[in-house]
Amino acid sequence: MVVKIPKEYLSTFNRQLQTQLYNELMQDYSFPRAVCRSLSELFISYIDLYFSSQRKESQVIFHGVSKDVPPGVPVDEMNLVSVSITIYDPEDCKVKNQRELLDKRIMRISNEAHTQGALLTQA
C-alpha cells in the first residue's frame, strides 16, 4: 500500500523508526524496495513484541536529532536517537492555567529528550 505523505509532514514522517530502517537497508545494502519494506516491517514487529513493555503508559517514543548533528544537515541524513518522552505527568493536574501547563510540558519534554542525547526540532 502506497501512502501519499503531504509535503509539510514529510520531515516528521521520515523520523519514524520503520522509515529509518527502510532507508538504511536501501542505502547501506542496496536491497530492492520490496525487501527493504518487508524487513523493516518484520524488525518493527519484533521490536514491538519484545520491547514495548519498557515504556511507561504515559510515554511515547520519539526520534529526535542527536546532539552531535550540526545545523544544516538534511533530515534524511541526520543521526536520530530514540527517546522516551512523557506526554502526561500527574503533576500536570496541579497547574491551573493553560499557558503555564503548555510551558511546563515543553520544558519537561525538551529536558527528557536532551538527557537522553537528543534535541527536538520545530518539526
Q: Is residue 24 assigned to a domain?
A: yes
Q: Is residue 50 assigned to a domain?
A: yes
Residue 119 shares a structural domain with residue 59: yes
Residue 40 shares a structural domain with residue 60: no
Q: How far apart are CA 103 and CA 100, in angstroms?
A: 5
Residue 60 shares a structural domain with residue 44: no
pLDDT in tens, 58-67: 888 888 889 9
User: Taking 80 as the threshold, does the pLDDT of residue 110 lie above it?
Assistant: yes
Q: Is residue 1 assigned to a domain?
A: no
Q: Is residue 104 assigned to a domain?
A: yes
Residue 62 shares a structural domain with residue 118: yes
Report helix, strand or coil for 80: strand
Q: Is residue 67 assigned to a domain?
A: yes
- Burial of 85: CB neighbours in 10 Å, binned 0-12, 13-18, 19+: buried
Count how many domains the chain has. 2
Grid cell listed for 33 = 524496495
Torsion of the alpha carbons at 52, 56, 61 and 64, rounded to the nearest 10: -140
Domain coverage including residue 16: 7-54
Quick check: 63 and 20 in contact, CB under 8 A? yes
Residue 83 shares a structural domain with residue 114: yes
Residue 42 shares a structural domain with residue 73: no
Residue 27 shares a structural domain with residue 71: no
Tell me the pLDDT band of 33, cut-offs 50, 70 and 90. very high
B/e letters for 110-121, b = 16+ CB within 10 Å, e = fewer, are eebbeeeebebe
pLDDT in tens, 85-106: 998 888 888 888 889 999 999 9
Quick check: 50 and 23 in contact, CB under 8 A? no
